[in-house]
Amino acid sequence: MHSLDLNKIGQQWIDAAAHKRQFKVLSMLDKSVILNPPFMEERVSGMANVCGIFLAFSGLTTNFHYGRILHNDHPNQNRELILEFKTDIEGKTMHAADFIKLNDKGQIIEMKVVARSPEAVKALGKAAHNMPFLLKLRISASKALINFYLKFRS
């Protein structure tokens, strides 16, 4: 198993997310990626659905920024990294971290998000449930485009 440069991959993801480079984000996701958002009990799977959650997240929160990149040099953990982030939702600050698992190509196959405080997580869940119509529309359009992109890519 070849070694991945986890710091570099983490930084690439942060840059792509910060500059909203959607194609770069897509290229860093495995087609069957799974996401466990902190405000949902269920996991979300597939590139289009996962990107839908990212878009909702980005549309509903403000001041989103990544912090530390954590990894472990142990060979058994060369496919995992942690990205810390903070964001605001309805005046509450959410502090969170992504547990990321990568495939051999360095693409993300799984992302589990842990967070605090409970009030901020609850506010995000409520906001996602009552999402503005225009954001819903934007997400549906993006999901359709991603599905088209996947068809084209395959």
Contact flags string 46-65 toward another protein, x per CB under 8 A: --------------------
Say whether residue 14 binds another protein (CB under 8 A): no
Is 86 strand, coil or helix? Answer: strand
* Binding segment toward another protein, per CB under 8 A, in 17-25, 55-63, 75-83, 137-145: 75-83
Which are the contacts of 143, defined by CB distance < 8 A and separation ≥ 6? 48, 49, 51, 52
How many other C-beta atoms are found inside a 10 Å radius of the C-beta of residue 132?
11
Cβ proximity to another protein: between 22 and 103 the closer is 103
Q: Is 99 exposed, middle or buried (0-12, 13-18, 19+ CB in 10 A)?
A: middle
Q: Which of 32, 62, 77, 140 binds another protein (CB under 8 A)?
A: 77
Say whether residue 29 binds another protein (CB under 8 A): no
Q: Which of 13, 33, 38, 47 binds another protein (CB under 8 A)?
A: 38
Q: DSSP string covering 105-116, please? A: TS-EEEEEEEEE
The footprint of another protein on this chain (CB under 8 A) covers a number of residues equal to 30
Cβ proximity to another protein: between 20 and 65 the closer is 65
Produce one character per residue of 50-85: b if its CB has 16 or more CB atoms within 10 Å, e if not.
bbbbbbbbebbbeeeebeebebeeeeeebbbbbbeb
Cβ proximity to another protein: between 30 and 80 the closer is 80
Interface with another protein by CB under 8 A: which residues? 36, 38-41, 68-72, 77, 80-82, 84, 95-97, 99, 112-119, 121-122, 125
